[in-house]
Amino acid sequence: MRPLQRFERRLEGIVSGVFARAFKGDVEPIELAAALKREIDNTARILSRDRRLVPNHFTIELGPGDFERLNAYGRTLNHELANELRDHADIQRYTFSGPIEIELTQQDDLPTGKFRVVSATVGSPQRRSQPYPQEPYVPPNDGPVLSTPASPPPQQQQPRRGHPQVMLEVNGRRRPVNPPGVVLGRGTDADIQINDPGVSRRHAEIRLMPEGPGGIRVVLVDLGSTNGTLVNGRRTTEAELVDGSTVRIGNTTMTLRLADEPMAQPPSSGW
C-alpha cells in the first residue's frame, strides 16, 4: 500500500469514515497531503552534502465550501498532515527549521475543489552552515563557558589554545558533539541514535555556533518532533544550552557537559 493510501485509511479511521462520505467531488485530505509533499520537494534548499532545508509553516487556501467542511476537523486533519510530512522528510533526508505549522484559510476567489499551498521557513537554521573560526580559544580561569565577552583591542588579546570539548551524556555514556552539530533521534540516519519509542526518527538537533572571537554557543532545536523536547524541565522549540543543562526527549534524559580542558590541537575542520 502506498504512503498516501495509508494516510487516507488512517485519517478515515480516526473520524469514523466521515471523510469518505463528505469529500466526494470536493477537496480531499489526500490531495492536501500530496500537495504539501510536492511543496517541500520543490522548495528544498541544500544545507550540507546529505541534508536539505524545507519549509515548516504552511497555509492552505481553500474556497468557502471546502474551508467550512475541512476546518471542522482542523486539529485532527492538521495532526495527520504534519505526521505525513515528517515521514516524507525522514525518507528524503529533509530538515525542518522548527515545528511544523499548518493553517487552513478561506479565500473567496477559489471555487469548490480548488486550493493553494503557500509555504514559509520559520527560524534561522542557516546559522548552522556558517564556517567555524579557525583561531584557537582559551577558557577563562573560572572554567569553560559557551561564549566570551566583547573582545579587547587586538594588541591586548592573549594567545588561545582551543575550544572546550562539548559532550552529551546519554544513559551513562558520553558522546562528543563536534561542529557543526548532531541530530538526535530514533532513526538510523540520526547522528546520535536513541532507542526510545517516544523519540521521533529525527527528533532534535544540537547546533554549535561561533560567537565572537573564539566564543561558542550550543543551541538545541526541536525538529518538529511528535512528543516535543524539554530543556531543564521546560518544553521548548529552541533553547541555548550551558554546562549541566538537561534535555529530555521521549523517556530519555541527557546532560550537556563541557570538558574541563580544551582540545590542545584542533583538527583542520575547525575543532
Note whether residue 59 is domain-resident.
yes
Say whether pLDDT at 127 is over 80: no
Asked whether residue 24 falls in the same domain as residue 112, the answer is yes
**Would you place residue 187 in the very low, low, confident or very high pLDDT band (cuts 50, 70, 90)?**
confident
Domain boundary among 120, 136, 157: 120
Closest by Cα among 159, 132, 163 to 261: 163
Read off the pLDDT of each residue in 45-51 and give the average, rounded to a whole number: 76
Read off the pLDDT of each residue in 208-236 and give the average, rounded to a whole number: 86
Asked whether residue 179 falls in the same domain as residue 80, the answer is no
Note whether residue 130 is domain-resident.
no
Say whether pLDDT at 14 is over 60: no
Per-residue pLDDT at 270 = 37
Asked whether residue 173 falls in the same domain as residue 66, the answer is no
Asked whether residue 87 falls in the same domain as residue 169, the answer is no
Q: How many independent structural domains does the chain possess?
A: 2
CB of 195 within 8 A of CB of 186? yes
Say how far apart CA 183 and CA 181 lie, in whole Å: 7
Task: Provide the grid cell at 224.
Answer: 518538529
Asked whether residue 102 falls in the same domain as residue 170, the answer is no
Domain boundary among 86, 120, 154: 120
Q: Which amino acid is at 146?
A: L
Note whether residue 196 is domain-resident.
yes
3-state SS assignment for residue 215: coil
Task: Give this prediction's pTM.
Answer: 0.43
Read off the pLDDT of each residue in 75-104 and give the average, rounded to a whole number: 88
Parent domain of 43:
3-120
Note whether residue 269 is domain-resident.
no
Read off the pLDDT of each residue in 17-41 and give the average, rounded to a whole number: 74
Domain boundary among 59, 88, 120: 120
Pick from 110-124, 128-142, 146-160 the range whose average pLDDT is largest: 110-124
Say whether pLDDT at 137 is over 70: no
Say how far apart CA 142 and CA 261 lie, in whole Å: 12
> Helix-strand-coil percent breakdown of the chain, rounded to 5?
25, 30, 45
Domain holding 248: CATH number?
2.60.200.20
Write out pLDDT tens, residues 211-224. Answer: 766 668 899 999 98
Query: Cβ neighbours of residue 178 under 8 Å, at least 6 residues apart?
Result: 166, 208, 269, 271
Note whether residue 143 is domain-resident.
no
Read off the pLDDT of each residue in 159-173 and give the average, rounded to a whole number: 73
Say how far apart CA 219 and CA 235 lie, in whole Å: 14
Domain holding 51: CATH number?
3.30.2320.60
Asked whether residue 116 falls in the same domain as residue 181, the answer is no
Per-residue pLDDT at 25 = 59
Note whether residue 159 is domain-resident.
no
**Would you place residue 190 in the very low, low, confident or very high pLDDT band (cuts 50, 70, 90)?**
confident
Query: In the block, which residue shows the cell 583591542?
Result: 153
Note whether residue 252 is domain-resident.
yes
Kindly report each contact of residues 9-15 with a partner whose C-beta sits within 8 Å and lies 24 or more positions away, as own/partner: 10/80, 11/76, 11/77, 11/80, 14/76, 14/80, 15/73, 15/76
